[in-house]
Amino acid sequence: MIPLTFHTGSPLQDLLFGASVYFPPVFKAVGAGFFIWLILHRLFREWIYSGEIWHPRLLDLSLFVICVSTALALLVVL
pLDDT tens sequence across 33-63: 999 999 999 998 898 888 888 888 999 999 9
Within-domain flag for 69: yes
Which residue range forms the structural domain that includes residue 44? Answer: 31-78
Within-domain flag for 49: yes
Q: Cα separation of 15 and 19, whole Å?
A: 6
Query: Between vectors from CA 31 to CA 11 and to CA 70, what angle results, nearest 5°?
Result: 95
Q: How far is CA 6 from the centre of its chain?
A: 25
Within-domain flag for 19: no
Give the global pTM: 0.68
Within-domain flag for 16: no
pLDDT above 70 for 25: yes
Between the CA of residue 60 and those of 13, 52, 63, 73, what are the distances in Å? Answer: 38, 13, 5, 20
Return the minimum-mean-pLDDT range out of 14-18, 48-52, 72-76.
14-18
Looking at the 3D structure of the chain, how many domains does it have? 1
Span 17-39, average pLDDT: 82
Within-domain flag for 59: yes
